[in-house]
Amino acid sequence: MDDVERDKQMRAAAGIAGRDRDPPSKDRSALEARIREAASGNPGLQEILTRSLLAGDPAAAARAVAAVERYLETGHVPQDAAAAAEFFQRVSLEVFRGVMTPAETAQLRAATLFGLPVPLPVLVAAGAAAGVGNLDAALARLKGLGLLDRYQFAADKPECACNPLARPLVPALSEAEATMLAAASVEPLAAAWTEEDGTLPWTVHGLEAARLALLGDAPASIINAAVIAGGFYLLRVRYDAMGALDLVKSALVALEKQKSSPDSHLLVLGIQCAGQLGDTELLDRLLKQGLTNPPDDLSARASLLSEGAKRRIQAGDPALAETMLREAGAISKLSATCVGAP
């Protein structure tokens, strides 16, 4: 179940139990959120974890969800929390550990790299890098066992993700393994998620692409595109300027190692984050770099000039600020003309 379906199931169960009109409390809301997260979208597990809460025993529900949280973190199958133990007795995940072949285990471990469902070619690339031989057979069996969940967001683009409850069945990836797998899979992932206008989306997909691009030391073009998408998602959607700026800083380090220049939009992102956080030293450094570099995009150039004008006003130089704003306006007008040209 996705987040909406998890909430619907919980509300429906509350209605059946006659608890849907109970006055909401902070503790109950927090426990419900933990149950939805720990159940990982599995309707049977969520029903079991919710049962004690709806029966008026939040302490038992808390013990059960804590047991599942420990399993997700350590792989230790719950034995002491009755509600949680009921699920694991019904669905013996340990059996799956024993029936997987070495190739299937390697493929499943490779799939744990990703935090979101990814297109099948991405899993194939990761599996090949992990040394899996018969990739089609390994993927088919893992899907058949329910260890890889299938998603159909678009008719022609099936995606898969490691079932959250299956992650503890395989050893965690080492840092070196994760870096190697990210390097092998980030290019097909970026290609699959790139939109028609040539950019990655300002969504969790852009953020995941940014994580993998930085982890796998992707080519400069992918690092720029992914961090721009992931960073603006953090800044504009999550209002997390610090997280976005951390991405920008990591990207600048990675690009410097590759002796590549940062995209102007990446510098604009860093400037806006630094401005929100009051880091004027970094803001000025990025602004100088952006205005000194040869312009690579008209809209980004206009944004850089606009940000520069703000700094000139703060510095008490309104005449230069006006000049920069005029130039920014002229560039924006030219950009609009170019876009509208046949």
pLDDT of residue 340: 43
pTM for the structure as a whole:
0.82
pLDDT of residue 342: 40
pLDDT of residue 70: 87
pLDDT of residue 18: 75
Q: What angle do CA 184, 190, 195 make, to 5 degrees?
A: 165
pLDDT of residue 91: 66
Pairwise CA distance, residues 69 & 43, whole Å: 16
Q: Are 157 and 194 in contact (CB under 8 A)?
A: no
Pairwise CA distance, residues 53 & 322, whole Å: 63
pLDDT of residue 335: 59
CATH of domain 95-174: 1.10.10.10
pLDDT of residue 339: 45
Q: What is the greatest pairwise CA distance in the chain?
A: 75
Task: Tell me the domain boundaries of the chain.
Answer: 3-91, 95-174, 194-283, 297-342
The pLDDT profile of the chain, 342 residues, written as one tens digit per residue, is 788 888 888 888 877 777 766 666 888 889 989 989 988 888 888 888 888 888 888 888 888 888 888 888 888 877 776 777 777 766 666 678 788 999 999 999 999 999 999 999 999 999 999 999 999 999 999 998 888 988 877 667 789 999 888 898 899 999 999 999 999 999 999 999 999 999 999 999 999 999 999 999 999 999 999 999 999 999 999 999 999 999 999 999 999 999 999 999 999 999 999 999 999 999 999 999 988 887 778 888 888 888 888 888 887 777 777 887 887 777 766 655 544 434
Region of 255 (left: φ > 0; alpha: ψ -120 to 50; beta: rest) is: alpha
Pairwise CA distance, residues 321 & 342, whole Å: 34
pLDDT of residue 305: 82
Q: H/E element holding 24?
A: none
Q: What is the DSSP letter of 64?
A: H
> Structure tokens of 293?
């570099």
